[in-house]
Structure 1
Amino acid sequence: MELFGSNFDDSVFSEAKDRGSVCVLSYNAKSCEPEWFCESAALDTEDSLEKQKVYKFRGDLATRRGDYQAALDAYSSCLEWISDNSMSIKRDILEGMARCYTRLGQRKKAIDLLELLSKEASNTCHLTSLLLLKVTVYQHFGDVGPRMSSLQELCSLLPFNPWNWYNLGKMCLQLLEHSANLKETGKEAEEQHKELSEERLWLKACVCFIRTRLLLRILQQQQSSFVLRHNQSAVQSAEEALAHLNPKETTLLTLTELISEDLNPEKMRDENQDGKSLSNVCVQSFEERWWNKVLLSGVLEADGCHGQSDTKL
């Protein structure tokens, strides 16, 4: 009795020539000289995609070299050759132009591009990239309120990313250390005065560094090598910042309990939003999700003068 599959057709083992000719495919990779796109001959083509590449590469190189006007000119030329359906490359070019306008001190043009990019953002990746760009632009021009709002939006959109929390905490700490200047620049609205008061900045900094420490310690379980060392260094920085802020032990315990309620593996997997359509993502504001319940806990009043240290980090 033959086992199933034990009888093969002899033709399987015949020579290749007996089974028909074999088509051999070859591929010759295109070889380019370094910075080939800088040559004038690179634009001697009718191919719009090729021209788009040349101008984009020129803009990227000029940006790296710090020649922001040349980069801006190249990006502007690139836009003329981008088709209407090439949204990804268009966003990339517009972001590059916004950075150039920022470096050139042209605030209005940079902000106008941020607004245009906001209208065209369609998923969480777009929004994340946009918010990071906003932080850069607002920081450059010293726009305290919008920068803080952008960082808070990042924390709400990606609540398990420790670096957004860390950056928000550092901003609050820096504002505390320059509170005299803050009072001079915070005259636009009464509400902004309230949100940027020393007491609220102190409390928000505590919340951010506690959350940072919690998230980084969770991530340490899956890390090794230089990634783990970088993580441990950030944890140390967060602990030093908390020591500088000097909250009472009861305040630390209360805040840790309040902002760690969602830190479980199942919850963290469910909220992985990378690339999701914004129409399918419900993001609670920073105030709704964390800040209001922190204020309602009464820790600010319970901590009294919150024992801030005069030692700067």
Structure 2
Amino acid sequence: MEIFGSNFDDSVFSEAKDRGSVFVSSYNAKRCEPEWFCDSAALHTDDSLQKQKVFKFRGDLAVRQGNYQTGLDAYSSCLDWIGNNNLSIKRDILEGMVRCCTKLGHRDRAMDLVDILSKEASNTCHLTSLLLLKVSVYQHFGAIGPRMLSLQDLCSLLPFNPWNWFNLGKMCVQLLEDNTALEKSAEAEDPAYLAEGKVWLKACTCLIRTRLLLGILQQQQSSFVLLRNQNVLQSAEEALKHLNPKESTLHTLTEVMSKDLNPEKMKEDYQDGESLSSVCLQSFSERWWNNILLTGVLEAEGRDTRSDKT
């Protein structure tokens, strides 16, 4: 069962047609000294592309070495030399600046740069990268509600990716274990949304979805990939056991979260790289959460849907 578009076009393996003699010119690869871009002479040029490369490589090296202010300065200089049509490099540089600002504790500037990236996102790949970046920024600054919403958006965008579901479930489990953090976040952000009962239910739901998706994927995996997924599956099972839902709750949630898990539906909803103008996304609430709340499992479990601070 091929789900994620991994099948190949047969024409890739067909024999090439006789195109006659083809002239092949010799090619001499350009040799560069290690860290050539650190030399001040590297900027003694009128070539804007050369200057762009120098500042980008300097920024990348500084970030790798943990020098985030130096990296931020280099990335900022790089922006001045990027052409208006070079959107890929511009996005790469802006993401690097966001990560530097996050490490330096510059929350407002980091979020301003995220807003710029949001406006320039044009396909699902851009949106995926943006949401992952938001998750890391919100996690660093302890913004629990926005981080949870970003993970939910990832689940809506890539509904058959088990890692996003597992990360959302793991976050909910961590919140339940740190009750003080949960209460403070509920009080400051959204008491009804971060109510303990709902966080518990979301944790169960995400771990069950993870279990279902990994079970499907294991049919076409082997080697270290299979081993890694088995380890994650075991972690999900242990976390679910710790949450201790009733058997009736497990059955109900499994039924709701498996309705769209058939090969044809999964192929149809796979839209990696598609233009955002042609993609129709249902929100997390519309597609799953509202249906889950309607099942009445919270009431059956005897769990209040409100936080103590509400």
Instruction: Give 1:195's aligned amino acid.
Output: Y
Q: How many residues align?
A: 284
Matching residue of 1:221: 219
Matching residue of 1:71: 71
Matching residue of 2:264: 266
Matching residue of 1:97: 97
Q: State the Cα deviation string for residues 27-52 of structure 1 (Å, max 9, x = none).
A: 00111121111111211221111110
- Assess if the C-alpha contact under 8 Å between 2:186 and 2:192 holds in 1: no
- Counterparts of 1:22 and 1:201, CA distance in 2: 65
Distance 1:24 1:224, change over 3 A: closer
User: What is the deviation of 1:24?
Assistant: 5.4
Matching residue of 2:3: none
Distance 1:53 1:303, change over 3 A: same
Q: State the Cα deviation string for residues 198-231 of structure 1 (Å, max 9, x = none).
A: 1000000000000001101111111111001001
| Secondary structure of 2:164's aligned partner | helix
TM-score of the two chains, using structure 1 as the length reference: 0.88
- Counterparts of 1:221 and 1:46, CA distance in 2: 56
- Counterparts of 1:267 and 1:47, CA distance in 2: 50
- Counterparts of 1:23 and 1:302, CA distance in 2: 76
User: What is the deviation of 1:22?
Assistant: 8.8
Residue 39 of structure 1 pairs with residue 39 of structure 2: yes
- Counterparts of 1:48 and 1:115, CA distance in 2: 27
Matching residue of 1:5: none
Residue 110 of structure 1 pairs with residue 114 of structure 2: no
- Counterparts of 1:292 and 1:178, CA distance in 2: 26
User: What is the deviation of 1:188?
Assistant: 3.2
- Counterparts of 2:215 and 2:38, CA distance in 1: 47
Q: State the Cα deviation string for residues 125-172 of structure 1 (Å, max 9, x = none).
A: 010000000000000000111101100000000000000000000110
Matching residue of 2:15: none
Residue 49 of structure 1 pairs with residue 49 of structure 2: yes
| Secondary structure of 2:81's aligned partner | coil
Matching residue of 2:120: 120
Matching residue of 2:192: 194
Alignment of 1:162-311 (within 5 A): 162-189=162-189, 192-305=190-303
Matching residue of 1:144: 144
Matching residue of 2:12: none
Matching residue of 1:18: none
Distance 1:274 1:23, change over 3 A: closer
- Counterparts of 2:303 and 2:22, CA distance in 1: 83
- Determine which structure has more spread, i.e. the larger CA radius of gyration: 1
| Secondary structure of 2:192's aligned partner | helix
- Counterparts of 1:117 and 1:290, CA distance in 2: 28
| Runs (4+) off by over 3 Å | 21-24
Which 5+ residue runs of structure 1 have no aligned equivalent? 1-20, 307-313
| Secondary structure of 2:224's aligned partner | helix
Distance 1:27 1:243, change over 3 A: same
TM-score of the two chains, using structure 2 as the length reference: 0.89
User: What is the deviation of 1:270?
Assistant: 1.0
**Percent of matched pairs sharing the same residue:** 71
- Assess if the C-alpha contact under 8 Å between 2:166 and 2:206 holds in 1: yes
Which 5+ residue runs of structure 2 have no aligned equivalent? 1-20, 305-310
| Secondary structure of 1:193's aligned partner | coil
Matching residue of 2:6: none
User: What is the deviation of 1:303?
Assistant: 1.9
Matching residue of 1:134: 134
- Counterparts of 2:270 and 2:24, CA distance in 1: 45
User: What is the deviation of 1:305?
Assistant: 4.8
Distance 1:254 1:54, change over 3 A: same
| Secondary structure of 1:31's aligned partner | coil
